[in-house]
Structure 1
Amino acid sequence: MDFTPTEEQTAAQGLAARIFGDLSVHERLVAAGTGTDAELWKELCAAGLPGAVEEIGLLGLVLLLEEQGRTTAQVPFASSCVYGLLAVAGHGTDEQRRRLLPQLRDGTAVAAGAFPAGGAVQARPEGGLSGAVPLVPWLREATHVLVAAADRSLWIVRTADAGVLAEPVETTAPWSAGRLVLDGASGERLGGTRAYEEILATARTAFAGLQAGVCAGAVARAVEHAGTREQFGRPLSTNQGVLLRAADAHMDTEAIRVTAYEAAWLHDRSLPRAAQALTAAWWASEAGKRVVHAAQHLHGGTGADLDHPVHRHFLWGRQLDAYLGCGSEVLQELGGLLVKEGSR
């Protein structure tokens, strides 16, 4: 496997790094509260980055999401690309692609995902979707929601339609989340029997990439703090315990990154990737939690300050841990998949 980015992927990553670095600064994040930074989202869409994902593939998206994670930028980039752009491009009809993709590319439409299927939503034989999903990231900003019903059928639902209610929910991270309530809501079917598994694997890979960025940003902040903060007349970074803790966090971050790259690389070549996507999700959940705790700890008392930038990485890392399913849950699913594949 060769994870070396293409020229197009490198250019897109560089552009994303510049935009996120210029606009997703601490003062703007504080001002945004728990909502989306509308100006930043507009800038990303004007630069063509959401639409570029169709060309640079899932590995390219993972690279872009790393840059978002480094700055904990409050935009629905992962959600709209995974549950909107890539889902429709990969599994939509020709009519759905013509109608929805232009809006998803320019940001006038934003997609959220009621994933994974947990039996909460039922697709009625007589038509309409009913049920409630307690947490949907970026739901309050979404124009469309990709809903996974109990039978794993997929439905595109417009948030403005009758029978659709989005109730605000505050989470650990400021993801503009909501509780989705459907009461006989109409929806249009997306894809066939394999669409659910494929989009779920894509989502796990993409959000693992986002976690890699969150962790990289947290470690960078911790290293900067340890190199400049002095204790007993010398920098904290000269303490062997600090060095070892930072090194472990760096290695965990690299493990998240490389497993996300592997799953994305396989996706872009249309190769089986369910186990690799679960592996990436496990590392992102289990190791990601360790990294953001370590980064906060290495800041000492400063890390406990709710207004300190490193605390945002801590909150994002813990929320991604929960959203990916928590390590033990993901590991159990991975074990079951490996047993199933081994028995064939």
Structure 2
Amino acid sequence: MDFTPTREQREAAGLAAEIFADRSTPERLTALGTAADTALWTTLCRAGLPGSVTETGLLGLVLLLEEAGRATAQVPLAATCVYGVLAVAAHGAPEQRERLLPELTDGETVATGAFGTGEPPAVRAEAAGGATTGPAAARAAEARGPAARLTGTVPVVPWLTCADLVLVPDADRELWLLRTDAPGVAVTPVATTAPWSAGRLDLADAPAERLGAAPGPVGPGPYAEVLASARIAGAGLQAGVCAGALARAVAHTAERHQFGKPLDAHQAVLLRAADAHLDTEAIRVTAYEAAWRRDTGRGAAPHALTAAWWAAEAGTRVVHAVQHLHGGLGADVSHPVHRHFLWGRHLAADLGAGGQLLEELGQLIVDDEEATA
């Protein structure tokens, strides 16, 4: 394994770090409140960063998201790249790639995905002729076609209120592209822990197009691949959130004095910070490995779950530790470190409970062993 970034990946991450440091300041984030930073998103797109992931791959995206997480930048970078740019580039039909990729990479279209934490949402897809896609005879390719009408509800979709395009899996794990301004689509804002412009998606016979030229084989297929990419991207974002939080804790404990010496001179403080550092590095390295395996064509399904587990479990420990190391300031909701706390908690919930992820990982291992037996 070699996680050394390429020159292109390093340059993209360096540029992202500069933009986020300059534009995503605590003062600007306070002024934004819960709104998405549309000006920052425009700057990122003009710099070519969302489009760069078609060349730098999932590992390149993870590096960009680390920088976004450090600054808790309120932009739909992960959602647009995972559910838009990378999904269309990998699974879209040639016509879809030609039509959608330019508008996704130049910022004209913001994308998101209605995926949840693992199981597909309760969305029903009906073919143009009215035949429901499912395990019955209508599941045949000729009955499904390239278009469908979707009905169902997804309670929480990140970045939905500022999205133009949603990647929606149906109950059979087929992927559909849906415009938020299409008839039969209702978007209702939802308040969440992190200010990700989330919303509830209600579909009533809403027109959608299949991602790809033709239906794939019965089973996970592209759905599983997009979900794995989303989990890896979430872990990369969490690594940045934790690194940014820990940097604040290091600065605070070096400056704050107690009993005549800096807080970081106390062994208990050092040990707590050291544990948080090790957890942060575990999140980072598992995210890097999973992304590297996806980019190089190696199997990455268990590695994506491993990265998600570390991001959910260890990420929660880190943001709680940093909150604790700030003492009374950690309880101040207006302090910048509180934003990292909220993001870390929200990312952990978005990725899924640790027990749920371990159960899925265990089942995956069992299934693989049975398949090779």
In the other structure, the counterpart of 1:321 is: 348
SS in 1 for 2:203: strand
Where does structure 1 differ by over 4 angstroms across 4 or more consecutive aligned residues? none
SS in 1 for 2:191: coil
SS in 1 for 2:245: helix
In the other structure, the counterpart of 2:34 is: 34
CA deviation string 1:87-114 (max 9, x = no partner): 0000000100011000000011000100
RMSD: 0.8
How far off its partner does 1:34 sit? 0.9
- Greater gyration radius: 2
In the other structure, the counterpart of 1:285 is: 312
In the other structure, the counterpart of 1:295 is: 322
CA deviation string 1:280-317 (max 9, x = no partner): 00000000000000000100010110000000000000
- Residue type of the partner of 2:262? P
How far off its partner does 1:328 sit? 1.1
Where in structure 2 are the equivalents of 1:169-318 lying within 5 Å? Answer: 169-191=190-212, 192-193=216-217, 194-318=221-345
In the other structure, the counterpart of 1:120 is: 122
Give unpaired runs (5+ residues) of structure 2: 131-147
CA deviation string 1:45-75 (max 9, x = no partner): 0100000010101000000000000000000
2:114/2:121 contact within 8 Å kept: no
CA deviation string 1:202-226 (max 9, x = no partner): 1100110000000000110011101
SS in 2 for 1:186: strand
In the other structure, the counterpart of 1:53 is: 53
- Residue type of the partner of 2:96? Q
In the other structure, the counterpart of 2:83 is: 83
CA distance in 2, matches of 1:327, 1:248: 19
2:68/2:240 contact within 8 Å kept: yes
How far off its partner does 1:124 sit? 2.2
2:121/2:154 contact within 8 Å kept: no
CA distance in 2, matches of 1:81, 1:35: 20
CA distance in 2, matches of 1:118, 1:49: 29
SS in 2 for 1:128: strand
- Residue type of the partner of 1:68? A
How far off its partner does 1:119 sit? 3.9
The farther-off stretch of 169-178 and 110-119 is: 110-119
Match of 1:132 among 141, 147, 153: 153
2:115/2:121 contact within 8 Å kept: no
CA distance in 2, matches of 1:44, 1:178: 23
In the other structure, the counterpart of 2:174 is: 153
SS in 2 for 1:145: strand
How far off its partner does 1:233 sit? 1.2
SS in 2 for 1:306: coil
Aligned residues, how many? 344
- Residue type of the partner of 1:159? T
CA distance in 2, matches of 1:307, 1:128: 45
- Could you tell me the TM-score, scaled by structure 2's length? 0.91
Residue 362 (structure 2) pairs with residue 341 (structure 1): no
2:151/2:204 contact within 8 Å kept: yes
CA distance in 2, matches of 1:118, 1:199: 12
- Residue type of the partner of 1:203? A
How far off its partner does 1:118 sit? 3.3
> How many percent identity over aligned positions?
65
CA distance in 2, matches of 1:335, 1:326: 14
2:113/2:167 contact within 8 Å kept: yes
CA distance in 1, matches of 2:327, 2:108: 43
SS in 1 for 2:352: coil
CA deviation string 1:305-332 (max 9, x = no partner): 0000000000000000000012111111
How far off its partner does 1:271 sit? 1.3
2:286/2:303 contact within 8 Å kept: yes
